[in-house]
Amino acid sequence: MDLIKQQIIELLKSIGVSGVIELTTPPKPEMGDLAFACFGLAKEQGKNPAEVAKDLKKELDSRLRGNDALEKVEVFGPYVNFYLNNVELAKMVLNQKDPSTSFHSAQGKVMVEFAHPNTHKPVHIGHLRTMITGESMARIFENVGNKVVRANYQGDVGMHIAKCLWGIMQDKDWEKIIKNLKTTSERAIFLGQVYARGGQAYEKDEQAKKEIEEINAKIYSQDKSIRGLYKKTRKWSLNYFDYIYQRVDTHFDRFYFESECFELGKKIVLEGVKNGIFEESQGAIIFAGSKYGLHDRVFVNSKGLPTYEAKDMALARLQFKEYHPDFIYHVVAKEQTEYFKVMFKALEFTLPNSKDKEKHLVYGWVSLKEGKMSSRTGQVILAEWLLDEAEKKITEVMKGREIENKEKIIRKIANAAIKYSMLKTGIGNDIIFDINEAVSLTGDSGPYLLYIVARIKSILRKSKAFLTAGRSKVVVGSVEPQEKSLILQIAQFPEVTKEAVEKLDPSRIAKYLFELAQKFNSFYENCPVLQAESVVVRDFRLQLISMTGQAMEHGLGLLGITAIDEM
RNA sequence: GGCCUCGUAGUUCAAUGGAUAGAAUAGAAGCCUUCUAAGCUUUAGAUCUUGGUUCGAUUCCAAGCGGGGUCACCA
């Protein structure tokens, strides 16, 4: 597609059009395939855009002879529209080796930091979004040639843990209760419940607040009285995280922990005080972001403990030292936007090398649509519950269908449903999550996309002739409108992968795939493949659907979704 | 209150300043002896308000209204 665009741009240049030339797609297929708007040119020449367009057409007409790719040029008001030669276009697209080759637009080495759950706290629906978004972005970066490091920063020290441990110890026989918890999920649910208890007490009860703060200090000093419980419950959380990561099909190259950052972080801040980077204020050490149009933040609190801010100073130092990334993308929800601005500013002083390399990749809130919540721990919707729920619904729909590895396939469909529903919305926008819609098998959904691949694979399985013949050069006779629209969509794949990197947004891919699916289905209804009117047409269509399948599978892969052959 | 952000069909989402604002879902009407009906076709339905910039504004600017976030010892 890019080649064709370049040809047209060259053609326009050759007749004296200067400046940046941008081609758009006309609103309707019968109006041509690519369009050039004459507004800018008209302004330059002081003429009416429609007249300029007419003049251009005259010039262009005389140069079209001998050009295989272009069929004709028409004027629509102020637009000059180009019609591609359908047969040539089909040959070009279908004789590629792989429709899903991507632009190479590497930035070098990219670290994508995502998931970052805190131990001792529930893994909720918001974590699901960072896991899914982060994994997808990692793949999108890799796809265009970057070296990607998947990092995960897990919070295993801090007040949230103190709240949890305090919550556990409120029961007199807590040691016995703990012993009776056997499964990973049971333990995770228990931790979530006692965390909620501790959190509420911290807000309402002064005495509890004091006790929790004492526990917090003990965690930092690794006091023996709570060390055993801390270690045991930390392990519980980490095991549970592994289970979730595996279930959503993501993985990490490096797990960072707050526990490995707090000492170094404090040290960096204390040194920074000497250099005037940080200053004392009301017994705490702060970074005066207000000097830079931001806001002040506490880096070491008045008890001498490093806050999240100080730990992040250390984290960045470790990350740059270990991997020398060209960019670090922190996939974190939007409520931390202001925080990151201050933190990155402070980093410019403590780690000058990090300047312009640290990026906050903002994603929006996830909330459940009103009246749809049915399972909660405290105030959050658990990730695991949502995954289970999706599987239940899909199992229901699949009832009576006999397929090999049904369990695995159900899990894959459920994952596709959840992932797609999290990725189809623009990355920075909030998602109002409707579980019914997310796992619905109809319309703009993950299963709808999987269905395309299943249908294609089914036809290919039945077409042994094609499979044995291999892929010789495709002969194109004529091209139906549905075929053309599908071909054009396939041709746009590389551009879309590039856009997703530039805009840092997987929803570009999701949207593209949905359109691909719609165009395939429309083709499927109108153009029989195995029963085509001739062998030539059949082979052409087999090649077309095979490429559609490849583009779809590759695109789904960029979203972290695994296609299936049968459903 | 300061700063940031978002306001588009009943609902959930799209639209580098460009052609008649697109989808999905819910509603209405059709299509399975035919490659998987988890599908397809038809139909109805929307840009918060008021100004400004522009040949042209959902998009840019200003004000207002309405949500959300954030603003010191949580992460």
In a structure prediction context, what are the per-residue pLDDT tens digits for chain A, which is 567 residues long?
Answer: 778 888 898 888 888 887 778 889 998 888 999 999 998 888 888 888 889 999 999 988 888 877 888 889 999 989 999 999 999 999 989 888 777 766 666 678 999 999 999 999 999 889 999 999 999 999 999 999 999 999 999 999 988 999 999 999 999 999 999 999 999 999 999 999 999 899 888 888 889 999 999 999 899 888 999 999 999 999 999 999 999 999 999 999 999 999 999 999 999 999 999 999 999 999 999 999 999 989 999 999 999 999 999 999 999 999 999 999 999 999 999 999 999 999 999 999 999 999 999 999 999 988 877 543 433 334 578 899 999 989 998 998 888 788 889 999 999 999 999 999 999 999 999 988 887 787 788 899 999 999 999 999 999 999 876 555 555 677 888 899 999 999 999 999 999 999 999 999 999 999 999 999 999 999 999 999 999 999 889 999 999 999 999 999 999 999 999 999 999
Distance between CA atoms of A504 and A331, rounded to whole angstroms? Answer: 11
Residue–nucleotide distance: A97 CA to B62 C1' (Å): 54
Q: What is the pLDDT of residue A378?
A: 45
**Is the alpha carbon torsion for A154, A158, A162, A167 positive or negative?**
negative
Q: What is the pLDDT of residue A105?
A: 66
Residue–nucleotide distance: A567 CA to B50 C1' (Å): 54
Strand B bases, protein C-beta under 7 A: 2-6, 11-16, 18-20, 22-26, 34-41, 55-56, 68-75
**Which window residues (183-202, chain A) lie with Cβ within 7 Å of strand B?**
none
Q: What is the pLDDT of residue A99?
A: 75
Distance between CA atoms of A495 and A516, rounded to whole angstroms? Answer: 14
Q: What is the pLDDT of residue A374?
A: 37
CATH class of A2-84: alpha beta
Could you tell me which residues come within 8 angstroms of residue A69 by beta carbon, excluding any fewer than 6 positions away? A4, A7, A84, A85, A88, A89, A92
Q: What is the pLDDT of residue A472?
A: 65
**Which window residues (419-448, chain A) lie with Cβ within 7 Å of strand B?**
424-426, 428-432, 434, 437, 440-445, 447-448
Residues in chain A: 567
Could you tell me which residues come within 8 angstroms of residue A361 by beta carbon, excluding any fewer than 6 positions away? A112, A133, A137, A329, A330, A331, A332, A427, A504
pTM recorded for the entire structure: 0.94
Q: What is the pLDDT of residue A44?
A: 80
Q: What is the pLDDT of residue A465?
A: 60
SS3 A386: helix
Q: Where are the beta strands (DSSP E) in A369-508?
A: 431-433
**Which window residues (149-168, chain A) lie with Cβ within 7 Å of strand B?**
155, 157-160
CA atoms within 13 A on the CB side of A516: 34
Q: Which residues of A77-86 are buried (b: 16+ CB within 10 A; e: fewer)?
A: ebbbbbbbbb
Query: Per CA to C1' distance, which residue is closest to B26?
Result: A437
Q: What is the pLDDT of residue A317?
A: 97
Place of tokens 């730990």: A311
Confidence check on the interface: ipTM exceeds 0.90, yes or no: yes
What are the extents of the domains in chain A? 2-84
Residue–nucleotide distance: A128 CA to B2 C1' (Å): 33
Q: What is the pLDDT of residue A43?
A: 82
Query: Per CA to C1' distance, which residue is closest to B31?
Result: A525
Q: What is the pLDDT of residue A471?
A: 56
The answer to whether the CB of A483 falls within 8 A of the CB of A456 is: no
Q: What is the pLDDT of residue A470?
A: 54
Phi and psi torsions of A67, nearest 5°: -95, 115
CA atoms within 13 A on the CB side of A234: 17
Q: What is the pLDDT of residue A370?
A: 54
